[in-house]
């Protein structure tokens, strides 16, 4: 490796500031893509069910009464399906209680003897009665007709829309029938019958003309990408089902209780009465984790109809929230926002305990926002947002911490290499350079050479101790001699100690120095780390060693170390001759003088105006490369240029780095001085 290709540890000190953004943004993109592919659907459905189930219990909706035909009723009757005569008797009893409307959630497209004639008579006599049909073909393509001769306006379908996991989360309000007509559900028919005496009619929506509207309440339609759904079948007119919470959302009585008149007539008067099967053996139930039931996860079909009716009545008459969703743009903006929040948490919070505590609190806050949204009727994407947040806030952060630890170990090794090379460069290599010159001089005695070789031997043996001390004691600077400096000391004091120590070293050109003009004044040390101070001290040591080795015939030395009000400055200048070569590995100093003015005032002042800079042909060695890297690290500049009529100047400048608070404080201080 050529000497001007020697790697400097300073070049690796600045990590890529935004290198983490690529994987983080990719993570957000993966989450968004996964949601677009429907991978989050099961999680979002489960979150919706859990949020609805965890709500505090609501009062029983006494506008709806369910007459459930349970196992005991079937055993008492001794037959199933329930004979038409028994249903006719049940309808007659209920009619005497003067309900506002009766819904029969039992198919009666075919007679079930005995008692079919009595049931037909009851159908004709009881006008506020709505019968059930099925209009959505099953797997075999079959549907179920309503009772014969029943008018279509008194018929409603009881078909339910199932999600891929078999759960019911949507209510089908209206759909086209196989024969081309349009039919409403049993729930809509019963709600219409109940609300009509209140002067509330069914109309088309205003914001969405296809939606259904009762008075001013528009039932929001489900679209293929509503909420957590991705490419779902949104055929017909569907709305999300906002189940009523609580263990007893509706009053339920048995068929036996009604026939034996073991009920209060006021329970039924002016109410909606639903008749359906609640016997588990007949399997007229659906899966739903959104409600608490006697059979966990299962809800009887007649109860699903009751929830759908109650949702409409409660929204129209009580102002209860319907379930709504955001538009796609808002949902994906929400997910991206939480992904960016994970990035911010990873980058801004350095302490691991605080970071993971913040992530945990934010995650719980996100879940709380999702739950609170359901309480006021909004279903927005919690699980994808949580995934994006945790991916960037936990998973990528763990990889980032691991990578930082790995990079830190690499930097530590590089620093050891750098410190070792610096120790060799500023010690044994300098002695070796002197030995080479002495060996070329026939007038130098063997005793002098032997003395220098012994010094070189000792310096090489001291390398390990010096490097180990600097690595293990990061706030100490070890000089060429046995002494060390505390790097927490002000910089100008450290530099003076380095100057005093270096000029005691046995370099040939130090002996001829007659005039030393030195200035060590305080620096603006804002944001300077102990390692920065160490590097600055090594820079001064390197510059002085170059003077001692290569400034042939130098009689004057000027050192200027201070803050001049704008920048920090370290300047070392001499009036020795300029030689070709590199910067101190033994051959000479960086650069070759080309042409310069014929006269200058010398080095009698420390003003930079007396220094005449001349272009030089670059021949970059390790010292210059290291000095330039240090300047880049500090955000400043480094220059080495010849002086006129002869001499060399090394100059390092860097601006103080201040935080916003420090800048404000400085500005206030300047204002105060101005006012004073």
DSSP string, 193-255: HHHGGGT--EEE-SSSTTSEEETTEEEPPP-TTSTT-SS----SEEEE--PPPSS-SSEEEEH
The residue with greater pLDDT, 274 or 15, is: 274
The residue with greater pLDDT, 79 or 666, is: 79
Q: Is the pLDDT of residue 384 over 90?
A: yes
The residue with greater pLDDT, 458 or 667, is: 458
Please report the pLDDT score of residue 615 as a whole number.
Answer: 43
Q: What is the mean pLDDT of residues 455-461?
A: 75
Please report the pLDDT score of residue 399 as a whole number.
Answer: 79
How many alpha carbons lie under 13 Å from residue 445 in its C-beta half-sphere? 3
Please report the pLDDT score of residue 473 as a whole number.
Answer: 54
Q: What is the mean pLDDT of residues 109-122?
A: 95
The residue with greater pLDDT, 378 or 475, is: 378
Q: Is the pLDDT of residue 8 over 50?
A: no
Strand bridging mode 64-69 / 251-254: parallel
DSSP readout, 23-45? HHHHHHHHHHHHHHTTTTHHHHH
Q: What is the mean pLDDT of residues 65-70?
A: 97
Residue 438: band (very low, low, confident or very high) from pLDDT cuts 50, 70, 90:
confident
Poorest-pLDDT segment among 184-188, 417-421, 506-510, 659-663: 659-663
Q: What is the mean pLDDT of residues 64-89?
A: 96
Q: Is the pLDDT of residue 29 over 80?
A: yes
CB 306 within 8 A of CB 355: no
Three-state secondary structure call for residue 156 = strand
Q: What is the mean pLDDT of residues 393-401?
A: 82
Quote the distance between the C-alpha of residue 305 and its chain's center: 42
Percent of the chain with pLDDT over 70: 84
Q: Is the pLDDT of residue 606 over 50?
A: no
Please report the pLDDT score of residue 675 as a whole number.
Answer: 60
Three-state secondary structure call for residue 518 = strand
Rounded distance, CA 273 to CA 67, Å? 7
Which value, in Å, is the radius of gyration of the alpha carbons in the chain? 45
The residue with greater pLDDT, 282 or 462, is: 282
φ, ψ (nearest 5 deg) of residue 253: -125, 160
Q: Is the pLDDT of residue 425 over 90?
A: no
Poorest-pLDDT segment among 37-41, 146-150, 479-483, 506-510: 479-483
Q: What is the dihedral of CA 357, 361, 364, 368, to 10 degrees?
A: 180
Please report the pLDDT score of residue 676 as a whole number.
Answer: 54
Please report the pLDDT score of residue 583 as a whole number.
Answer: 44
3-state SS of 110-154?
CCCCCCHHHHHHHHHHCCCEEEEEECCCCCCCCCECCCCCCCHHH
Please report the pLDDT score of residue 549 as a whole number.
Answer: 83
The residue with greater pLDDT, 573 or 441, is: 573
Please report the pLDDT score of residue 222 as a whole number.
Answer: 96
**Residues 612-664 pLDDT 10s:** 444 444 456 677 888 898 999 899 999 999 998 899 999 999 998 765 665 56
Average pLDDT of the residues of the chain: 85
Please report the pLDDT score of residue 672 as a whole number.
Answer: 64
Q: Is the pLDDT of residue 600 over 50?
A: no
- The DSSP H or E segment spanning 583 is none
Please report the pLDDT score of residue 507 as a whole number.
Answer: 82
Residue 28: band (very low, low, confident or very high) from pLDDT cuts 50, 70, 90:
very high
Percent of the chain with pLDDT over 90: 58
Strand bridging mode 129-133 / 155-157: parallel
Most confident segment among 128-142, 299-313, 462-476, 498-512: 299-313
Please report the pLDDT score of residue 315 as a whole number.
Answer: 97
Please report the pLDDT score of residue 397 as a whole number.
Answer: 79
**Residues 608-618 pLDDT 10s:** 444 444 444 44
Q: What is the mean pLDDT of residues 324-346?
A: 94
Poorest-pLDDT segment among 12-26, 91-105, 276-290: 12-26
Please report the pLDDT score of residue 322 as a whole number.
Answer: 97
Poorest-pLDDT segment among 209-218, 395-404, 570-579: 395-404
- The DSSP H or E segment spanning 322 is none
Residue 5: band (very low, low, confident or very high) from pLDDT cuts 50, 70, 90:
very low
Quote the distance between the C-alpha of residue 197 and its chain's center: 54
């Amino acid at each position: 490796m050529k000497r001007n290709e020697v790697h400097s540890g300073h070049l690796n000190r600045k990590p890529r500031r935004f290198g983490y953004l690529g994987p983080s943004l990719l993570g957000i993109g993966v989450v968004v893509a996964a949601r677009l592919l429907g991978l989050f659907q099961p999680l979002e459905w489960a979150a919706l069910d859990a949020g609805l189930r965890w709500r505090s219990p609501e009062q029983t909706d006494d506008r709806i009464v369910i007459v459930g035909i349970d196992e005991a009723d079937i055993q008492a009757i001794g037959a199933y399906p329930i004979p038409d005569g028994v249903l006719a008797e049940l309808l007659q009893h209920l009619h005497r209680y003067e309900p506002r409307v009766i819904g029969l959630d039992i198919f009666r497209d075919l007679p079930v003897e005995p008692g079919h004639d009595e049931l037909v008579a009851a159908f004709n006599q009881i006008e506020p009665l709505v019968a059930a049909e099925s209009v959505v073909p099953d797997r075999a393509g079959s549907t179920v007709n309503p009772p014969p001769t029943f008018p279509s306006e008194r018929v409603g379908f009881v078909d339910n829309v199932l999600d891929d996991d078999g759960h019911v989360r949507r209510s089908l309000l209206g759909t086209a029938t196989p024969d081309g007509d349009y039919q409403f559900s049993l729930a809509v028919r019963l709600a219409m019958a109940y609300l009509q005496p209140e002067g509330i009619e069914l109309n088309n929506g205003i914001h969405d003309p296809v939606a259904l509207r009762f008075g001013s309440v528009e039932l929001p339609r489900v679209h293929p990408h509503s909420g957590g759904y991705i490419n779902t079948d949104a055929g017909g007119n569907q709305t999300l089902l906002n189940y009523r919470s609580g263990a007893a959302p509706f009053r339920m009585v048995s068929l036996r209780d009604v026939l034996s008149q073991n009920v209060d007539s006021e329970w039924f008067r002016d109410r909606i009465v639903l008749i359906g099967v609640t016997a588990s053996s007949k399997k007229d139930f659906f899966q739903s984790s959104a409600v608490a039931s006697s059979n966990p996860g299962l809800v009887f079909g007649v109860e699903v109809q009751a929830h759908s009716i109650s949702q409409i009545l409660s929204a129209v008459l009580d102002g209860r929230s319907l379930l709504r969703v955001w538009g796609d743009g808002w949902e994906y903006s929400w997910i991206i926002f939480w992904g960016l929040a994970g990035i911010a948490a990873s980058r801004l919070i350095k302490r691991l305990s605080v970071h993971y505590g913040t992530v945990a609190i934010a995650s719980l806050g996100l879940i709380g926002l999702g739950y609170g949204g359901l309480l006021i009727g909004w279903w927005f994407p919690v699980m994808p947002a949580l995934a994006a947040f945790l991916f960037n806030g936990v998973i990528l952060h763990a990889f980032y911490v691991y990578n930082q630890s790995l990079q830190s170990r690499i930097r530590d090794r590089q620093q050891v290499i750098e410190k070792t090379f610096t120790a060799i460069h500023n010690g044994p290599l300098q002695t070796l350079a002197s030995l080479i010159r002495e060996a070329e001089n026939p007038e130098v005695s063997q005793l002098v050479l032997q003395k220098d070789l012994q010094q070189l031997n000792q310096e090489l043996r001291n390398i390990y101790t010096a490097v180990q001390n600097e690595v293990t004691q990061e706030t100490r600077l070890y000089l060429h001699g046995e002494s060390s400096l505390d790097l927490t000391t002000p910089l100008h004091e450290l530099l003076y100690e380095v100057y005093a120590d270096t000029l005691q070293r046995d370099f040939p050109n130090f002996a001829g120095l007659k005039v030393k003009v030195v200035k060590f004044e305080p620096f603006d040390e804002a944001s300077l780390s102990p390692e920065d101070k160490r590097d600055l001290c090594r820079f001064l040591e390197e510059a002085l060693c170059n003077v001692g080795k290569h400034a042939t015939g130098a009689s004057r030395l000027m050192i200027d170390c201070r803050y001049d009000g704008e920048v920090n400055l370290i300047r070392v200048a001499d009036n020795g001759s300029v030689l070709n070569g590199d910067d101190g590995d033994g051959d000479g100093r960086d650069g070759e003088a080309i042409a310069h003015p014929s006269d200058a005032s010398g080095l009698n002042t420390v003003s930079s105006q007396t220094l005449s800079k001349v272009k030089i042909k670059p021949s970059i060695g390790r010292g210059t490369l290291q000095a330039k890297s240090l300047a880049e690290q500090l955000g400043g500049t480094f220059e080495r240029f010849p002086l006129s009529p002869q001499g060399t100047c090394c100059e390092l400048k860097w601006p103080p780095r201040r935080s916003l608070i420090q800048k404000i404080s400085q500005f206030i201080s300047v204002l105060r001085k101005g006012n004073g």
